[in-house]
Structure 1
Amino acid sequence: MLNSQFKVLVTGANGLLGTNTILDLLEQGFQVRAFIRSVDKRSEFKHPALEYVFGDIMHIESIKKAMNGCQYVIHIAALTDLKIKDYHAFEKINVTGTRNVVEMAREFEILKFIYVSTANVFGFGSKDDLGNERKEMQSPFKKMAYAKSKQLGQEFVLSQSDAMDITVVNPTFMIGPYDSKPSSGRIILNCLNKQFVFCPPGGKNFVCVKDVSGGIVNALRFGKRGEAYLLCNENLSFFEFYKKVRLHSKQAFIIIKLPKWAILGIGYFGNFARFIGIETAISISNTRAVCINNFYDNRKAREELRISFNPIDTGIKEAIDWFGKSSSKNRPI
């Protein structure tokens, strides 16, 4: 039985998902310990049930300090920077770091462990044949360092479910407030105050970040041991998504559809730039990913985690509003 008076350790606490998850936990009465890398990443947000602890998931002693006295762990921390081309950098954080957190959770006899993975470890599909938790990972994600490392991290986590109560959640592309870096919200920022917005030919599954954070809390309560759940919602082409951003931002930018050959050409140029030492997130694997319809089904999460998903319009409006009002002083985590 889940006890909201128990303490939850949240790694990766200052990112988009970490922030929203902590706010959900606090609202539902949990004691929360936010694990972040350094004091300068801590916000001015305060709550009597929230404490900060500083450290690195690569350092066992700092994990021990963070985990001591906690009963639940939500492991969100991950390396996601697509500008990094070295797979070993991703493997270090997303596989070895995850292993460190899981092993310490076993040592501290954590009652419930939630691992946040990514939807791309599962096979995607079309609107007529959606991706789900039973489909195997597909290209181009098989060749993307982030996705490969998360797949290995997830495989290790689930291999420990006989010894510990572990549930995995797999979000798609999250949109919403408190995106202070910014991360996925950059897709919205790139549309604002522009005359033209260039649109790739593919599509994604978009989900409100608050639905994902709520899904994580529900996974603490209802998530089955050794199971993984896609936290996803609306399957949209990029053109459909940009039209929603245009509507809710009340801006009149023109959406220009780019052909697949042009997007792939940009990807090959990005590979060449990386080869000569220029740091860029553009690569052929990344551009191939925006030329496909990367669609998923949320049926399992709706039925087993008891989640009601909001329209992505809600997340878009909340993100636009937050970007408009935010400053370094009022970003909460």
Structure 2
Amino acid sequence: MTVLVTGISGLLGTNLVLLLLEKGYQVKGVARNISSLPFGKHPRLILIQSELTADLSAHLKDTDCVIHVAALTQQNIIHYDEYYRVNHTATALLAEGAIAAGVRQFIYVSTANTIGYGIQQDGLKDPEDQPMRKPFDHSFYARSKAAAEAYLLQQTHRIKVHIANPTFMIGPYDSKPSSGAIILMGMHKRLLFYPPGGKNFVAVKDVASGIEKMIHQGENGRRYLLAGNDNLSYRDFFKLLKEHTGQKQRMIPIPSFLLQVAGCIGDLLRQFSIKTSLCTNNMRILNVKNYYSNKTSVKELGMQYQDIKAAIAESVTYFEKHFPG
């Protein structure tokens, strides 16, 4: 089977390609810069250098499945149109190209934040049925991903569609880094300041495994929360990191009102077109217990999620090698 994967230079894309090659797939990998990828030469890997918004139609011939990982994820973008152009419009262009080329399946990697958080699912059958909740419905990133999901779910009569909704991923090959910045935030620090909220943490290798399973399993038009077994406050996460590294560290909570002040300062800077991840909504997100259930993916995809301690260990090993000190 031949699979085209976008965004292969990122945390998930890299781990996904490594898994697909290990399992014998033919892979076409797309990235903006292919000069520093960790794959080396591989007889079943074709590298394609391309922008996210480029037309990939020429590469979709003789392709069975497209896995669209690439996205604009930075939190410092101040205009929604930029997110929409990359995360929705470019996705629609890729999907239309896949349909025209006869690709049979399109797997879209979205985010858990298009689904309402909370372990109590308000009596709904599946966690994935929970509607997006505040403050994520005000997040430009989450809104643009939700718009792409809505478009793709209208195409299920034309192409088989699966949507992966991963939570907060941890693991190796986070070369930028992206979500792994939380590991660097806690490593080699004598003082650590942490916000009041929390997240569901998942090993990136488990997310890659879930996506690979979607190629062969699951219903057309289905969303799957790829969430770990670990819903942790930021305090508890950093305690696990501290235990693994054995470092002496004093952990200090950040009061909610200080986050609100920082958000207001960020809002003011954005009024002057200064790019910053500080804004009122992003600070509200840091107060949220952003927890999820993985029961659907366990039941329908046969997922088995590892303890997040293993992913923390792999992350620390990777960052100690590539980001020493």
Relative to the length of structure 1, the TM-score reads 0.92
Partner in structure 1 of residue 100 of structure 2: 107
User: What's the TM-score, normalizing by structure 2?
Assistant: 0.94
Aligned counterpart for 2:260 among listed residues 254, 258, 264: 264
Counterpart mapping for 1:139-288 below 5 A? 139-233=134-228, 234-288=230-284
Task: Choose the corresponding residue for 1:297, options 280, 293, 297.
Answer: 293
| Alignment match, 2:11 | 16
Q: More deviation in 241-250 or 264-273?
A: 264-273
1:191–1:253 contact (8 Å) kept in structure 2: no
Choose 32-41 or 211-220, whichever is displaced more: 32-41
Please report the RMSD computed on the Cα atoms of aligned residues, expressed in angstroms: 1.7
| 1:86 maps to 2:84 | no
1:62-101, Cα deviation, whole Å (9 max, x unpaired): x012222211110111100101111100000000000011
* Native 8 Å contact 2:4 2:29 kept in 1: yes
State percent identity of aligned pairs: 39
For residues 145 and 41 of structure 1, the distance between their equivalents in structure 2, rounded to whole angstroms, comes to 30
Task: For 1:127 and 1:252, locate their aligned partners in 2 and report how far apart those are by CA, in whole Å.
Answer: 36
SS in 2 for 1:297: coil
Per the alignment, in what secondary structure is the counterpart of residue 306 of structure 2? coil
CA–CA separation in structure 2 for the residues paired with 1:126 and 1:221: 28
Aligned-pair CA distance for 1:40: 3.9
Deviation by residue 1:125-165 (Cα, 9 ceiling, x = unmatched): 15797992111001111111000000000111111111111
Q: Is the 8 A contact 2:11 2:178 kept in 1?
A: yes
C-alpha distance in 1, partners of 2:23/2:15? Answer: 12
Task: Count how many residue pairs are aligned between Structure 1 and Structure 2.
Answer: 320
Instruction: Name the SS for the 2:202 alignment partner.
Output: strand
Alignment-derived partner of residue 305 in structure 2? 309
Kindly tell me: are residues 272 and 140 of structure 1, through their superposed partners in 2, closer, same or farther at Cα, counting changes over 3 Å?
A: same
2:307, 2:138 → 1: CA distance?
Answer: 31
Residue among 44, 47, 53 paired with 1:49 = 44
Residue aligning to 1:134: 129
1:170-201: CA deviation from partner (whole Å, max 9, x where unpaired): 00000000000000000010111111111111
Partner Cα separation in structure 2 for residue 58 and residue 205 of structure 1: 30
Alpha-carbon shift at residue 43 of structure 1 (Å)? 4.6
User: Are 2:214 and 2:301, in contact at CA under 8 Å, matched by a contact in 1?
Assistant: yes
SS, match of residue 206 in structure 2:
helix
Aligned-partner residue type, residue 317 of structure 2: D
Against the structure 1 CA distance between its residues 294 and 44, is the aligned structure 2 distance closer, same or farther, given a 3 Å change threshold?
closer
Whether contact under 8 Å (1:133, 1:229) holds in the other structure is yes
What secondary structure is seen at the aligned counterpart in 1 of 2:215? helix
**What is the distance in 1 between the residues matched to 2:320 and 2:18?**
20
**Partners of 2:171 and 2:311 within 8 A in 1:** yes
Structure 1 position 41, deviation (Å): 5.2
Whole-Å Cα distance in 2 between the matches of residues 81 and 205 of structure 1?
Answer: 20
Match of 2:88 among 81, 95, 100: 95
Gaps of 5+ in 1: 1-5, 328-333
Q: What secondary structure sits across from 1:190 in the alignment?
A: helix
- Structure 1 segment 54-93 matched on structure 2, within 5 A: 54-60=49-55, 63-93=56-86
Letter in 2 for 1:266: A
Q: 1:7 aligns with which of 2, 7, 29?
A: 2
CA contact (8 A) 1:195 1:252 kept: yes
What is the distance in 1 between the residues matched to 2:231 and 2:66? 30
The runs of at least 4 aligned residues of structure 1 exceeding 3 Å deviation read: 38-44, 126-131
Q: Is the 8 A contact 2:78 2:273 kept in 1?
A: no
Amino acid at match of 1:121: T
Report the Cα offset of residue 305 of structure 1. Answer: 0.9
Unaligned runs of 5+ in 2: none
